[in-house]
Copies of this chain bind each other. A is one copy, B any other.
């Protein structure tokens, strides 16, 4: 399926397209026209399609990278000595990072979005679940939520950030809500 080795110019153009897409999608999300990405990359629209079967595929290629990063960061925290601290650090970090990148926001907001990016999406989900469970086990996080709930809350926090940027203290409201264990 995959061409083993690309011609030099093809490899260069592919990289340019990816870089342009990363910037454009990151700033404006899927709404940015493909022609604009081609223009930013200094390339024709046809060239983009030589490397990616569709705009959607290009978008996912861009997002995939970051999701993998998220998954790795979460895995690195599994062994932390304080599960509560690890969980909340990660929770806030993900929101902060994602809120800087519209493409990530949109990818996370689609419940199906992370579904079929099988590898990275599953890794991310699994690592998040593990962090949550460990934090719940030591009583640092309320017990009445699960991984899906948590992802919903992340999406919600991203919506909050987009509605009123620079409001990190609003995420604290959610964090405090997650800490509540009584009742």
A27 at the B interface (CB under 8 A): no
A158 at the B interface (CB under 8 A): yes
Tally of contact residues, A, Cβ under 8 A: 29
> Given known contacts A152-B160, A152-B163, A157-B156, is B142 in contact with A173 (CB within 8 Å)?
yes
A72 at the B interface (CB under 8 A): no
B residues less than 8 Å from A177 (CB atoms): 172-178, 180
Residues of A110-162 at the interface with B, using a CB-CB cut-off of 8 Å, are 111, 142, 144-145, 148-149, 151-153, 155-160
> Given known contacts A156-B163, A159-B109, A163-B111, is B151 in contact with A170 (CB within 8 Å)?
no
Chain B nearest Cβ from A150, distance in angstroms = 9
